[in-house]
Amino acid sequence: MLMSNFEVLTEKLIANLKDISTEEKGHVVYELEQGTAITFTLKRNAMVHLLDSFLSADTIFPLHHHETSSETLILQSGNVTVICDEPGCEEIRHELKVGIPFFIPEGLNHFLHAKEDSWVLASLIPPDEGMLK
């Protein structure tokens, strides 16, 4: 029996992004099966974590969720689709538009697909403690 793309991705759900990240001096590199993702912290305190993120062309940033953080994404350049395809939830396939915020509520499983080299601002409120090692 063939599994749907969502079933395959669900099997690979990342509970904590710290499981696939390595904090380097000034940035975080994610160990992905497809593509490259690097984030730079612009601001972090008890209330917010603001990231400037680079995703290389054809990157699939894996299925994950943020337990206690809502996330807002703003495309700076490139082409990125946010996919939320959770059972019991309306399917979302949203192509980010430059400068227009896209909100993801806490606990919602989602992944990102960068079709070309892309830069995205991400804000997590409050910060996701499961993001970094």
Q: Which domains does the chain have, with CATH numbers?
A: 5-15+34-125 (2.60.120.10)
The per-residue pLDDT for range 69-97, each reduced to its tens digit, is 999 999 999 999 999 877 766 778 999 99
CB atoms within 10 A of CB 38: 14
Give the per-residue pLDDT at 43.
93
Give the per-residue pLDDT at 26.
72
Q: Which residues, given as ranges, of the chain have pLDDT below 50?
A: 1, 133
Dist CA 99 CA 15 (whole Å)? 29
Give the per-residue pLDDT at 56.
96
